[in-house]
Amino acid sequence: MMNRIIRMLAAVALGLGLIATPVFASGAARKNAEDHAFSFEGPFGQFDRAQLQRGWEVFRQVCASCHSLNYLRFRNLAEPGGPEFTVEQAKAFASQYDITDGPNDEGEMFTRPGRLSDAFPAPYPNEQAAKAANNNALPPDLSLIVKAREGWDYPWYVSPIIKLFKGNGGAEYVRSLISGFEEPPAHEEQKEGLSYNPYFPGHWIAMPPPLSGEDVEYKDGTPNTLKQEATDVAAFLAWVSMPKMEERKKIGLMAMLYLLVFALLMYMVKLALWSKVEH
Ligand code: HEC
């Protein structure tokens, strides 16, 4: 009798928990990112080279004036699994930047054109300078931003399945954030130096809307609308966050195939071994 009551109580508690989780989650301050079917989602998804190349243009022409990308090296742009520019193109990009190097024989630092081995140069020499130029807010390094942010709050018991097929939504978050600036609703007072963005936790962000559409010329003829540019730069940042994703997925697939064949073999071994035993 006692056991039955305890079991019943446990079932009720679990049920309430399952119902309550999404209710609490939906009370979060920010809006869920708008879903977008990126080419790199799911167990077989791969990056779209042309999209990464466009996203690189958006990043370097717009975002790079405030944000660093410390973990990106110019040679990465020509490596397999990324935008796959030619080595000549990557060299040409690098040479457009002045890199501080040294010290030379006189003990002085000097600048020289960038090389493939250089990291993408940061817009500010240090955090203090970055803050001073941005109303005391620090534009974060964007190398890992797509992994550091999630796009949506699903209850824990469906979240792993959603992540398997749609990722963590970090790219969707960046896409929504960049293209989702709005006029603040009537009941909100305009805050000095901040912009209203429903996708940002707390809604007020210290980044002015960086894109408005037609910010960069696309060489491949893709229309450079605000949404398109935001999508492309989000895809590019997803690659910077996960530069080995394509390789990882290929290895994962091979491992699964291997295990499948192995399981089949072991099953046949079991049949053969036990076939001579009376049972
Ligand atoms: C004028 C400078 C400026 C430009 C240009 C700019 N940003 Fe920002 N960005 C900022 C600042 C400042 C913050 C910090 C905002 C805060 O913490 O309130 C920020 C924050 C962010 C964040 C983090 C939001 C979070 O969840 O913490 C992302 C992502 C981002 N920017 C992406 C971009 C992208 C992509 C571009 C190019 C399309 C871009 N930014 C262009 C200044 C800029």
User: pLDDT by residue (tens digit) across 45-101?
Assistant: 999 999 999 999 999 999 999 999 999 999 999 999 999 999 999 999 999 999 999
Residues 151 and 187 in one domain: yes
Within-domain flag for 49? yes
Q: Round to whole Å and give the CA distance between 14 and 145.
A: 35
Residues 130 and 232 in one domain: yes
- Ligand 1 pocket test, pick from 57, 66, 179 with the greatest ligand atom count within 8 Å of Cβ, gives 66
Tell me what pLDDT residue 18 has: 64
Q: Is 195 in the pocket of ligand 1 (CB under 6 A)?
A: no
Which amino acid is it at 215? D
Tell me what pLDDT residue 28 has: 44
Within-domain flag for 175? yes
Within-domain flag for 105? no
Q: How many domains does the chain have?
A: 2
Residues 147 and 255 in one domain: no
Containing structural domain, residue 64: 23-72+119-243
Residue nearest to atom 1 of ligand 1 (CA): 66
Tell me what pLDDT residue 103 has: 95
Q: Is 63 in the pocket of ligand 1 (CB under 6 A)?
A: yes
Within-domain flag for 12? no
* pLDDT beneath 50: ranges in the chain: 26-28
Q: Left if phi > 0, otherwise alpha if psi is -120 to 50, otherwise beta: which for 173?
A: alpha
Residues 194 and 265 in one domain: no
Q: Is 235 in the pocket of ligand 1 (CB under 6 A)?
A: no
* Distance from Cα 62 to the centre of ligand 1, integer Å: 11
Residues 45 and 181 in one domain: yes
Tell me what pLDDT residue 201 has: 94
Tell me what pLDDT residue 119 has: 96
Residues 157 and 53 in one domain: yes
Q: Which of 84, 90, 75, 58 is nearest to 237 (CA)?
A: 58
* CATH for 225: 1.10.760.10
Q: What is the value of pTM for the model shown?
A: 0.89
Residue nearest to atom 15 of ligand 1 (CA): 206
Tell me what pLDDT residue 20 has: 61
Residues 229 and 258 in one domain: no
Q: Is 243 in the pocket of ligand 1 (CB under 6 A)?
A: no
Residues 239 and 252 in one domain: no
Residues 133 and 187 in one domain: yes
Residues 197 and 262 in one domain: no
Residues 152 and 256 in one domain: no
Q: Which atom of ligand 1 is nearest to the CA of 145?
A: 29
Compute the chain's Rg from CA coordinates. 25
Residues 141 and 189 in one domain: yes
Q: Is 145 in the pocket of ligand 1 (CB under 6 A)?
A: yes
